Amino acid sequence: MVKTVSKPKRKYYVCEECNFAYIDKKFASKCENWCREHHSCNMEITKHAVNL
């Protein structure tokens, strides 16, 4: 399950597999599905990740 992290200004969705954080839940879900299946990161997805 995608985790949520609340920061003072906004909420982030975090992939539980690789811990990348996303503003958009759909990318976090995609990332998590990808990470589970492939045990690696997909650049097309992780480029949408943000630094917390």
**Binding residues vs Zn ion (CB under 5 A):** 15, 17-18, 31, 35
Q: What's the min distance (Å) between Cβ of 7 and Zn ion? A: 19
Alpha carbons 13 and 25: distance in angstroms, whole number:
6
| Pairing of the two strands 11-14 and 21-22 | antiparallel
18 or 48: whose CB is closer to Zn ion? 18
13 or 17: whose CB is closer to Zn ion? 17
Q: What's the min distance (Å) between Cβ of 33 and Zn ion? A: 9
Distances from the Cα of 29 to the Cα of 8, 47, angstroms: 23, 14
